[in-house]
Amino acid sequence: MSATYRFTVNGRPAEVQGPPMARLLDVLRRDLGLTGSKEGCGEGECGACTVLLGGEAVCSCLVPLFQVEGASITTIEGIAPSDKVTELQRVFANEGGAQCGACTPGMIVTLKALLDRHPTPTREQVREYASGTLCRCTGYERIFRAIEVLTGQRSSECEPEGGPRS
Ligand code: FES
Ligand code: FES
């Protein structure tokens, strides 16, 4: 049985018709054309599909459509509107946090949730958040380093001469 659900995605109203148990991940990718959220495991284990639901990082492959009625969702496309990169994305890339890129959209969304809650997170807090997103390439060290550079807890070994670009 199909029904109409209304919610907000990246600050814009969305209206989707579908079965109540349709996966949010499919709704985003198929119905709304937001393909930045990836499918990895489809079982809530890898974090590739992470979005913010009411500011909380969730695996969109586990969220049924009926649960998002009236909710506010942010996807990777909404993290950096208007084709600009955020400082988080710039430093993340600069410090080598993105390698093959498979985990990157989910990781960036997760780290945004972390920084919204803990503007100067400890390594333990970064570890706790990042552990929800499986990264096979970086060993996580470069991700920890990126957050520490971003939050001024260490200096970059990769910044171009003259410091960060504005
Ligand atoms: S695809 Fe959703 S957690 Fe892996
Ligand atoms: S950069 Fe390859 S899985 Fe994370």
Report the nearest atom of ligand 2 relative to the CA of 107: 4
Residue 44 CB–ligand 1 contact under 6 Å: yes
- In the chain, the domains with their CATH numbers are 3-79 (3.10.20.30), 87-150 (1.10.150.120)
Hey, whose CA ends up nearest to atom 3 of ligand 1?
A: 44
SS3 category, 48: coil
- Strand-strand pairing, 3-9 and 72-74: parallel
Cα-to-centroid distance, 78 and ligand 1 (Å) = 19
CA–CA gap between residue 132 and residue 91 (Å, rounded): 21
Residue 100 CB–ligand 2 contact under 6 Å: yes
Dump the DSSP string for 55-115: TEEEEGGG-BGGGGTT-EEE-HHHHS-TTPPPHHHHHHHHTT--SS-SSHHHHHHHHHHHH
Tell which wins on pLDDT, 160 or 23.
23
Per-residue pLDDT at 6: 98
Per-residue pLDDT at 1: 85
pLDDT tens column, 21-77: 999 999 999 999 999 999 999 999 999 999 999 999 999 999 999 999 999 999 999
For residue 153, what are its two tokens? 């807890």
Per-residue pLDDT at 166: 44
Per-residue pLDDT at 113: 97
Of 138, 142, 145, the residue with max ligand 2 atoms within 8 A of its CB, to mutate for a pocket test, comes to 138
Per-residue pLDDT at 101: 93
Cα-to-centroid distance, 159 and ligand 1 (Å) = 33
| Confidence label for 80 from pLDDT (cuts 50, 70 and 90) | confident
| Confidence label for 160 from pLDDT (cuts 50, 70 and 90) | low
Per-residue pLDDT at 159: 61
pLDDT tens column, 86-138: 999 999 999 999 999 999 999 999 999 999 999 999 999 999 999 999 999 99
Tell which wins on pLDDT, 90 or 83.
90
Residue 135 CB–ligand 2 contact under 6 Å: yes
In Å, what is the CA distance from 154 to each residue of 13, 57, 86, 91, 157? Answer: 40, 26, 19, 12, 9
Cα-to-centroid distance, 36 and ligand 2 (Å) = 15
Count of alpha carbons within 13 angstroms of residue 132, beta-carbon side: 23
